[in-house]
Amino acid sequence: MTDTFAAGLLPEEYQDLIKSVRDFAQTVVAPVAAEHDANHTFPYKVIEGMGDMGLFGLPFPEEFGGMGGDYFALCLALEELGKIDQSVAMTLEAGVSLGAMPIYRFGNDAQKQEWLPQLTSGKALAGFGLTEPGGGSDAGATKTTARLDSEEWIINGSKQFITNTGTDISRLVTATAVTGTLEGGHKEISSILVPTGTPGYTVEPAYNKVGWNASDTHPLTFQDVRVPEENLLGERGRGYANFLQILDEGRIAISAVGAGVAQGCVDECVKYAKEREAFGKTIGRYQAIAFKIARMEVRAHVARTAYYDAAALMLAGKPFKKQASIAKIVSSEAAMDNARDATQIFGGYGFMNEYPVARHYRDSKILEIGEGTTEVQLMLIARDAGL
């Protein structure tokens, strides 16, 4: 499988998926991307269309409303969406790998039956409540608490930068909370399902972000929030470890978005360089521009190869943590570097928000931060090397 992925000789079902998502991205997503970005509005019609295509159910079994595919199929779809609109791509990425996947990986049968059909259809979204105001990269510094009282969890605390929690179709958040103290004084951190609308659970006003303006992101507050004891997700005390596993997988998915961004910038620049004239000829005929685009193509290729490799290891059931971190670094830096070079090639037009390269320039920086900063990835890679 690894050799097939590396050679780009994808099976027919993967190729068909790429073609269908690419067509959807170009004909449905692209025409409205600038408008949603400018107005900071959530693209409900686009998300509905993605749900109808089955994209939110790609890696899940049919018994839960899924498409019976795998995680690599999700990544291929994310790459195609990332070429056009990062906000849309991240709505899918967070909705599947961060929203639905924890329930699929760690939920009991009742939780899966209740929530997964809604989430895999795209008619509902779930948030991944890990990050807190005092604990970003240090996710183990959780301060949100949950204590049992009369067979109910009482949750108090706050989360920040949580995606897909404030839309009309947001239905729940899985939140980590300190549920006790382990031997040696370490925190016992568990994860708990909190449905939207639960008294005391407040979705605060949306952030005013630099980019990803059509992606829904909010801080959350829990004030004496009561949910049933059976809303515990997975084993008590395993919430932190389980969420770290989800992040390992998610880094492959977000790497696919980064690879898509890098390639999207190449595609835009190739078209522009063939049309834009300066000093009597199209700018693509100037070596300075041609070589810059060639280097952009190299970055996109390497980013794609890196996430293909990590995904192949994951699907084969082999260790992939290091490869996921490598892919995360390579793809996020490729996206950022290509967006910067694309903006330079477009010149003054590249500074105008209605152009895709301008949106990619604003959007791409968060790829080096979200789901584990570059520094965290370097730490994990160094640790794997025995340092």
Are 268 and 323 in a shared domain? yes
Which domain covers residue 232, as residue numbers? 126-240
Nearest residue to 146 (alpha-carbon basis) of 237, 65, 214: 237
Pair (251, 379) in one structural domain: yes
Task: Please say if the pLDDT value at position 1 is more than 60.
Answer: no
Q: What is the pLDDT of residues 111-155, one digit of tens each?
A: 999 999 999 999 999 999 999 887 766 767 789 999 999 999 999
Helices 12-24 and 44-53, packing angle to 10 deg: 160
**DSSP code, position 69:** -
CATH number at residue 155: 2.40.110.10
Residues 99 and 188 in one domain: no
- Of 98, 124, 150, which one is at a domain's C-terminal end? 124
Measured CA to CA, the distance from residue 294 to residue 101 in angstroms comes to 37
Task: List, for residues 255-306, the tens digit of each pLDDT value.
Answer: 999 999 999 999 999 999 999 999 999 999 999 999 999 999 999 999 999 9
Q: Are residues 213 and 292 in the same domain?
A: no
The DSSP bridge pattern shows strands 170-181 and 281-282 to be unpaired
CATH label of the domain that carries residue 33? 1.10.540.10
Contact between residue 306 and residue 255 where contact means Cβ atoms under 8 Å apart: yes
User: Does residue 364 carry a pLDDT above 80?
Assistant: yes
Q: Residue 342 in contact with residue 265, Cβ under 8 Å?
A: yes
Last residue of a domain, one of 223, 240, 257: 240
State the amino acid at position 363 in one-letter form.
Answer: D
The CATH number covering residue 350 comes to 1.20.140.10
207 and 283 assigned to the same domain:
no
Name the residue with tokens 């899940």.
Answer: 60
Triad 314, 312, 29: Cα angle to 5°: 95
Statement to judge: residues 266 and 342 lie in one domain: yes
Query: Among 355, 352, 360, which Cα is nearest to 336's?
Result: 360
Domain count, the chain: 3
Q: Rounded to an integer, what distance in angstroms lies between the CA atom of residue 195 and that of residue 126?
A: 9
Sign of the C-alpha dihedral computed for residues 50, 55, 60 and 62 taken in this order: positive
Render pLDDT for 204-245 as a digit per residue (tens, 0 to 9). Answer: 999 999 999 999 999 999 999 999 999 999 999 999 899 999
Is residue 131 domain-shared with residue 120, that is, in the same domain? Answer: no
| Residue range 343-355, pLDDT digits in tens | 999 999 999 998 9
Same-domain pairing of 281 and 380: yes
Q: What positions carry a catalytic annotation? A: 371
Same structural domain, 291 and 374: yes
First and final CA of the chain: distance in angstroms?
31
Tell me the backbone φ, ψ of residue 160, rounded to 5 degrees: -140, 160
- How confident is residue 4, by pLDDT bands cut at 50, 70 and 90? low
Same domain, 335 and 375: yes
Per the CB < 8 A criterion, the answer to whether 356 and 32 are in contact is no
Q: 317 by DSSP, 3-state: which?
A: coil
What is the token pair recorded at 325? 């971190």
CA distance 183 to 168: 43
pTM of the model: 0.94
Q: What are phi and psi of 70, to 5 degrees?
A: -140, 180
Instruction: Output the average pLDDT for the chain.
Output: 94
